[in-house]
């Protein structure tokens, strides 16, 4: 089969399309024929020189895939099931979804709801899954219907899905972006306001900022997350899912002990099977109310992946890059 392989030998990083065999790591691995994959920020980190995310010297890239089960010993995922495949070590330490087929443990495979095609599943991908996981975490914490919710990194994969999902579920998303020319696009996705990256919080000289956000979905981390914490309303919460700005976090305990706010950690990679079913089911319930095609930055084939990875690394994309391993 054709696959996009990332290899590093010594100081030499190489990547490109190769003919390789799909290989099972375990007799219970499930074989999935891949219709689509998608490009994530993590894929760009895997395809970087001396990557601290990639854990092997050579692998098929791609943390996401969607397609049809071709061979399975798992009663819950019989042959012919349409599925999304993501998480675990896929595309990080074992072969991933930039290929025409993939073997995966059952834990990382979820049957798709009828309302979600394999194409839409990969427009959603890990990014949209993480956005919905974040929204469910905010709701579990008590987010009130119709609340204003901040989304940072709003034009990215997670951010743009967060804006669309919040709007489709009756909330009022406020999009924070460093891409001022994307305002009209963000309003079309459902944002009620678009603000700059530096407008997340006021009162820069004081410990606490004004109570502004009932909730937030943060893709950026670092000072952005610190600013969100000091500007949450009483009892509010932030779902922290990203690190494009920084992995550091410098804050005080005041937001927690004077406003009872919550910092909710979001991880999609090791999400349990029941969490995956819950999140994909929630995505399925809202799917007919979202124009997912409008979230596609562009569709690429395996040959076009190298520049696509560069673009996502440099923050040049808007929404999602869809990957078709067998075009035409």
Ligand X SMILES: NC(=O)c1ccc[n+]([C@@H]2O[C@H](COP(=O)([O-])OP(=O)(O)OC[C@H]3O[C@@H](n4cnc5c(N)ncnc54)[C@H](OP(=O)(O)O)[C@@H]3O)[C@@H](O)[C@H]2O)c1
Where do contacts with ligand X occur on this chain (CB under 6 A)? 40-42, 126-127, 130, 153-159, 177-179, 197, 219-220, 241-245, 266-269, 312, 315, 317
The least CB distance from residue 79 to ligand X, in Å, is 29
Q: How many CA atoms lie within 13 A of 155 on its CB side?
A: 20
Per DSSP bridges, beta strands 58-60 and 2-9 are antiparallel
Note the Cα 150 to chain centre separation in Å: 17
**Which CB sits closer to ligand X, 64 or 101?**
64
Q: In the complex, what is the shortest distance from the CB of residue 221 to ligand X, in angstroms, rounded to a whole number?
A: 7
Catalogue the E-assigned strands of 153-260: 172-177, 193-196, 213-218, 232-240
Integer Cα distance of 159 and 177 in angstroms: 9
Residue 86 vs 94, nearer CB to ligand X? 86
Choice between 231 and 268, CB closer to ligand X: 268
Nearest approach, Cβ of 9 to ligand X (angstroms)? 26
Estimate the crossing angle of helix 157-168 against helix 273-286, to 10 degrees. Answer: 60
167, 135 Cβ separation under 8 angstroms: no
Q: For residues 81 and 133, which CB has a smaller minimum distance to ligand X in the complex?
A: 133
CB-closest chain residue to ligand X: 156
Total length of the chain? 328
The number of CA neighbours under 13 Å toward the Cβ of 133 is 26
Provide the CB-side half-sphere exposure for 298 (13 A, CA): 11
For ligand X, the closer of residues 159 and 255 by Cβ is 159
At its nearest, how many Å lie between ligand X and the CB of residue 43? 9
Nearer to ligand X, 159 or 236 (CB): 159
Closest distance to ligand X from the beta carbon of 111 (Å): 21
Between 113 and 178, CB nearer to ligand X: 178
Q: How far is the CB of 41 from ligand X (least distance, A)?
A: 3
Query: Which are the contacts of 170, defined by CB distance < 8 A and separation ≥ 6?
Result: 145, 146
The CB-of-266 to ligand X minimum distance in angstroms stands at: 5
Residue the block writes with tokens 């963000």:
186
Quick one: 144 or 270, whose CB is closer to ligand X?
270
CB of 44 to ligand X, least distance (A): 7
DSSP character for 78?
A: -
CA distance 239 to 265: 6
How would you class 287 by CB atoms within 10 Å of its CB: exposed for 0-12, middle for 13-18, buried for 19 or more? buried
> Across the strands, what pairs with 172?
148
């Amino acid at each position: 089969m054709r696959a996009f392989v990332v290899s590093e030998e010594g100081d030499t990083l190489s990547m490109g399309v190769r003919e390789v065999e799909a290989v099972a790591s375990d007799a219970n691995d499930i074989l999935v024929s891949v219709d689509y994959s998608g490009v994530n920020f993590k894929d760009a980190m895997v395809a970087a020189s001396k990557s601290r995310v990639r854990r092997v010297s050579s692998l098929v890239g791609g943390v996401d895939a969607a397609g049809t089960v071709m061979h399975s010993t798992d009663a819950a995922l019989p042959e012919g099931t349409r599925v999304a495949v993501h998480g675990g070590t896929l595309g990080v330490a074992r072969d991933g979804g930039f290929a025409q087929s993939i073997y995966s443990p059952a834990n990382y495979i979820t049957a798709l709801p009828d309302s979600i095609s394999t194409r839409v599943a990969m427009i959603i991908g890990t990014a949209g899954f993480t956005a919905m996981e974040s929204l469910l975490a905010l709701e579990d914490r008590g987010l009130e219907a119709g609340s204003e919710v901040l989304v940072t990194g709003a034009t990215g994969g997670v951010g743009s899905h967060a804006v669309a999902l919040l709007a489709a579920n009756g909330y009022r998303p406020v999009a924070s972006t460093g891409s001022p020319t994307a305002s009209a696009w963000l309003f079309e996705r459902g944002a009620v306001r678009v603000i700059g990256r530096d407008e997340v919080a006021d009162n820069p000289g004081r410990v606490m900022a004004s109570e502004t956000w009932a909730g937030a979905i943060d893709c950026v981390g670092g000072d952005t997350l610190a600013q969100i914490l000091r500007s949450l309303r009483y009892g509010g919460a932030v779902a922290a899912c990203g690190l494009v700005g920084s992995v550091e976090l410098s804050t005080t305990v005041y937001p927690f002990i004077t406003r009872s706010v919550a910092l909710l950690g979001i991880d999609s990679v090791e999400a349990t099977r029941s969490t995956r079913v819950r999140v994909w089911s929630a995505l399925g319930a809202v799917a007919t109310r979202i124009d997912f095609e409008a979230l596609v930055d562009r569709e690429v084939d395996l040959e076009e992946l190298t520049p696509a990875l560069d673009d996502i690394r440099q923050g040049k994309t808007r929404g999602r890059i869809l990957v078709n391993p067998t075009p035409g």
